[in-house]
Structure 1
Amino acid sequence: MEVQNSVEPSRVKNIKTFLSGKGIDCWAAIFSISYIVAMVVLVIFKRDNLLTLGLNEVGDFLAGTFGPLGFLWLVVGYYQQRKEFQASLREMQNQSETDRTRLADDQRLQAERHLQYRRSLLPIFHIECSDAGCGEATSRATFKVTNSGAKVRSVIFDVAMKGQHGRQERFSIFDADEIKEFSAEWLCNDRDDRVVVEISYMSQDFESGVVRFVGGFNIFKGITTLGLNEFNP
């Protein structure tokens, strides 16, 4: 029983292989040779009858003899064309998938290159504060800004406390590795407050951007901290 069960899947596999066209050409060749041999044997045994046939009857005999073979190889040709078409279709699908993958990789690479290019045009500001203090009515501070990034234009330094703009300093060009200094004063109302330094600029590709630094101000300690709060290239 187990041997029979093991043989059945093999038979089914052979039938599927034959119907799929993988072995149909071989089987067609075997059938054709067998058929021709059978016809030759038949002609040998019936040669006396064949000699008495007329031309029309001989033509009918040849048509009836080779008609099945012609139909057989017509079917074989159909299966061969179907196999070639399926193989061509799979190749086109694989090529299409490869093209889509390559296109996605190219788009991702272009996006990364564009991002790197944009970053190469951005400035990198570092700010320090010195000589900060509060007089009788006003607070004052001196700022030193270093640009370790790219060259920018139309730079505006704006210092504010409690919404009061102490001073705006403008520079037409801020080169890479250059240092700019400016001072600002504003009304001093509270012992502790917040100071905002905003730097706006235009990059080399004519894109505007803003960098904002926020620090704590104490009338006795000056500006204690001044860190990057917002970056908007």
Structure 2
Amino acid sequence: MKKLQAWMARQCKFWSSQSVEWWVKRATVGWGLVIFFIICSRYKELMNLGLNELGDFFAGMFGPVAFGWLVLGYTQQGRELKLSSKALRMQTKELNDSVKQQTAMVEAQKISLENHERSLEPLLVLTHVETHLVNNHGYETFRLDNTAAYCESVRMESACNGLRLMSQPLPTMMTGDTEVFSVQPIAGKSQIEITIYYTKISGLENSQSFIVKKFIQEDGDRIFIEKLPFTRREAVAAAS
């Protein structure tokens, strides 16, 4: 009994696993044998039929076969469309992944270039040297040190409340170079902005700015220098 059940299970699995094409092909062969048997057994009667009757006979006999192959054609076409749609979805996913990878590579390259440009920036340090005044006339002397990369086309501009006071070109500055320049005297309890414009070794232009404040105290005037954040200057340049 168990052997019979196992055999029946194998048969059910075999027959149910066959495709539509398998069934249509074998049904066509079987139906062809039936037609052949009918023709052989009724050969004399078929010979006595007229052309219209004979045509109706063959149309009726081959109609199921034609219908079966028509169903098979639609089934195969649907399967091919399904496979094509799946392939298109896979291609779309691959293209999206490729675009994401390219975007990530571009962002990484952009960050790398930005870091490289930052490494080419000079690091400027501004120091107040002395104040020279005679009858409220004179000048303020500053020293500018470059502690990092080479820069050229250097130019100093001083401004107060957005109004440019003076502009002065400076020599090309190598790493470790020092330049001295003078500006108009700073009035008591006021401030000016000194901006150093330059061209980096990469050919790009940039600038660094310093706020110079003057305080009057009992023991004398004091000069305080604040360097504006470099990233802030980049943001301002980008916004303009």
Matched, 1:210 2:207: yes
1:231 aligns with one of 225, 230, 233? 233
Q: 1:37 to 1:95 in 2, by over 3 A?
A: closer
Aligned equivalent of 2:133, options 135, 143, 147: 135
Identity over aligned residues, as a percent?
A: 16
What is the distance in 2 between the residues matched to 1:53 and 1:73?
Answer: 26
Match of 2:82 in 1: 86
> Alignment partner for residue 65 of structure 1, among 61, 64, 75?
61
RMSD: 3.8
Query: What are the equivalent positions in structure 2 for 1:1-233 lying under 5 Å apart?
Result: 26-27=19-20, 29-30=22-23, 33=26, 37=30, 40=33, 48-54=41-47, 61-121=57-117, 122-133=120-131, 135-136=133-134, 137=136, 138-149=138-149, 151-160=150-159, 163=163, 165=165, 168-171=168-171, 173-175=172-174, 177-190=175-188, 192-204=189-201, 206-218=203-215, 220=220, 222-228=222-228, 230-232=232-234
1:130-163 Cα deviation digits (max 9, x unpaired):
42445343352322332524x4331112344565
| Cα separation, 1, equivalents of 2:133 and 2:141 | 11
Q: Is the 8 A contact 2:130 2:140 kept in 1?
A: yes
What is the alpha-carbon distance in structure 2 between the residues aligned to residue 167 and residue 44 of structure 1?
113
Distance change in 2, residues 1:86/1:52 (3 Å): same
Q: Secondary structure at the match of 1:135?
A: strand
Secondary structure of 1:90's aligned partner: helix
Greater shift, 72-81 or 215-224, is seen at: 215-224
| CA distance in structure 1 between the aligned counterparts of 2:182 and 2:200, rounded to whole angstroms | 25
Paired amino acid for 2:23: I
In the comparison of the two structures, how many residue pairs are matched? 207
Q: Mark the runs of 5 or more structure 1 residues left unpaired by the alignment.
A: 1-22
Q: 2:186–2:192: 8 Å Cα contact kept in structure 1?
A: no
CA distance in 2, matches of 1:103, 1:85: 26
Contact 2:212 2:226 in 1 (8 A): yes
Q: Which has the higher contact order (CA 8 A, sep 6+)?
A: 1
TM-score, length basis structure 2? 0.64
- Helix, strand or coil at the partner of 1:153: strand
Shift of the 71–32 alpha-carbon distance from structure 1 to 2, 3 Å rule, reads same
Letter in 2 for 1:225: I
CA distance in 1, matches of 2:132, 2:215: 8
2:3 matched to which residue of 1? none
Tell me which protein shows more strand as a share of its residues.
Answer: 1
Q: 1:169 offset after TM fit, Å?
A: 3.7
Secondary structure, aligned partner of 1:183: strand
